[in-house]
């Protein structure tokens, strides 16, 4: 078993005692950091950063040099899987990701194969191996993937969407086509995450950014069911340690019990639910990750500390909480405010432990 100097993040997910509450931030590496913008300009674009293990490693390390973070997250993107499936991923400035060949029919789905993680996606595994070497056991490394539903929204809509009319049309008019796509994506995610674990990811997280746009029944059938397949297929122990899996569906406060029942170790929470309510509902089953509104990082240091204290108080005493934002950090947040946030979590959480 590889020694870790700081294993608070894993301990909180295992619900073992910690000295203070661990914290990391979704999108902690990225555009709010000037050193990221500089490296991206040198590399040319975002995908070139992802596809070069040395650069992806450097970007992963950037926030760790500035802040006292308790985990590193692989620098990559959820759209690496559909990119490899031949959909032609590109990024247009200010418009987010786009696909030049979106999925429109059963014939398109039939053409898709399950990517080989040590083949077409080897650049991701190389990044994981490079980052683990560079981390030197300081903090654990989180690997990640998108959920099948969230990946499918981008693949069918051809990019970011507001109303999701194309994928919902497929869901209601041609459900078998969508199920065939989701099933292939679930198999792809299992093999991708297991390869990340073998390459050195010590925990994994599944981002279901768009599950919350579904009806309760469709959430089960088209999103959760496939995340269940992932949880069931993952390597849960590696290098002598349990590999915790965290599921995060944005806007899913109403479905927490169902998410916790998948057998995952952690459930990610956005800011639309009170920490105390979430803990009362599922805190006996799983660890909780979250859940400060990322927009709070625009506020004064006093206000940020006050909000951290409110959320810590909502969770109350003991382990089982990984502090985080309720979604990714905004790109125009002053980096110093992120530092205030992270230090506040460590300092203000001590009285809740031991």
Catalytic positions, written as ranges: 27, 31, 40, 77, 154
Work out which of 13, 18, 64, 78 binds ligand CP3, going by CB under 6 A: 78
Q: What is the DSSP string of 179-222?
A: HHHHHHHHHHHHHHHHHHHHHT-SEEEEEETTGGGS-HHHIIII
Segment (H or E) for 104: none
CA atoms within 13 A on the CB side of 129: 10
Confirm or reject binding of residue 79 to ligand CP3 (CB under 6 A): yes
CB of 109 to ligand CP3, least distance (A): 21
Confirm or reject binding of residue 96 to ligand CP3 (CB under 6 A): yes
CB of 82 to ligand CP3, least distance (A): 10
CB of 349 to ligand CP3, least distance (A): 22
Work out which of 21, 130, 147, 209 binds ligand CP3, going by CB under 6 A: 209
Confirm or reject binding of residue 328 to ligand CP3 (CB under 6 A): yes
- Residues 296, 310 contacting (CB under 8 angstroms): no
Residues 6+ apart with CB under 8 A from 217: none
Q: What is the DSSP string of 35-68?
A: HHHHHHHHHSSHHHHHT-HHHHHHHHHHHHHHS-
Confirm or reject binding of residue 40 to ligand CP3 (CB under 6 A): yes
What gap in Å lies between CA 27 and CA 205, rounded to an integer? Answer: 13
Work out which of 7, 58, 77, 307 binds ligand CP3, going by CB under 6 A: 77
Enumerate the β-bridge partners of residue 324.
291
Confirm or reject binding of residue 160 to ligand CP3 (CB under 6 A): yes
Work out which of 97, 143, 290, 314 binds ligand CP3, going by CB under 6 A: 97
CB of 64 to ligand CP3, least distance (A): 11
Strand 72-73 relative to strand 89-92, pairing: unpaired
The stretch among 20-28, 125-133, 298-306, 343-351 that binds ligand CP3 (CB under 6 A) is 20-28
């Amino acid at each position: 078993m590889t020694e870790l100097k700081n294993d608070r993040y894993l301990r909180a997910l295992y619900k073992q005692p910690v000295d203070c509450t661990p914290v990391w931030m979704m999108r902690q590496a990225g555009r709010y950091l000037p050193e990221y913008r500089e490296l991206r300009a040198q590399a040319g674009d975002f995908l070139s950063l992802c596809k070069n293990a040395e650069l992806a490693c450097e970007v992963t390390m950037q926030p760790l040099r500035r802040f006292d973070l308790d985990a590193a997250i692989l620098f990559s993107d959820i759209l690496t899987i559909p990119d490899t499936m031949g959909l032609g991923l590109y990024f247009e400035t200010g418009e987010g990701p786009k696909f030049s060949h979106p999925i429109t029919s059963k014939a398109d789905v039939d053409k898709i194969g399950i990517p080989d993680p040590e083949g077409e996606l080897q650049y991701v595994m190389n990044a994981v191996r490079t980052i683990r070497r560079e981390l030197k056991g300081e903090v654990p490394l989180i690997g990640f993937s998108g959920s099948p539903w969230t990946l499918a929204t981008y693949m069918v809509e051809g990019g970011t969407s507001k109303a999701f009319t194309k994928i919902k049309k497929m869901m209601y008019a041609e459900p078998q086509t969508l199920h065939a796509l989701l099933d292939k994506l679930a198999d792809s995610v299992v093999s991708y995450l297991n390869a990340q674990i073998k390459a050195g990811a010590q925990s994994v997280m599944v981002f279901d950014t768009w599950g919350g746009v579904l009806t309760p029944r469709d959430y089960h059938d088209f999103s959760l069911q496939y995340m269940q397949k992932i949880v069931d297929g993952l390597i849960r122990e590696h290098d002598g340690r349990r590999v915790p899996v965290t599921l995060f569906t944005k806007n899913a406060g109403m479905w927490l019990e169902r998410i916790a029942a998948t057998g995952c170790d952690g459930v990610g929470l956005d800011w639309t639910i009170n920490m105390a309510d979430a803990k009362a509902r599922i805190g006996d089953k799983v660890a909780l990750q979250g859940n400060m509104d990322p927009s709070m990082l625009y506020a004064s240091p006093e206000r940020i500390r006050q909000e951290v204290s409110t959320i810590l108080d909502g969770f109350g005493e003991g382990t089982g909480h990984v502090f985080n934002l309720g979604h990714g950090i905004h790109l125009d947040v002053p980096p110093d405010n992120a530092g205030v946030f992270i230090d506040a979590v460590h300092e203000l959480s001590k009285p809740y432990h031991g």
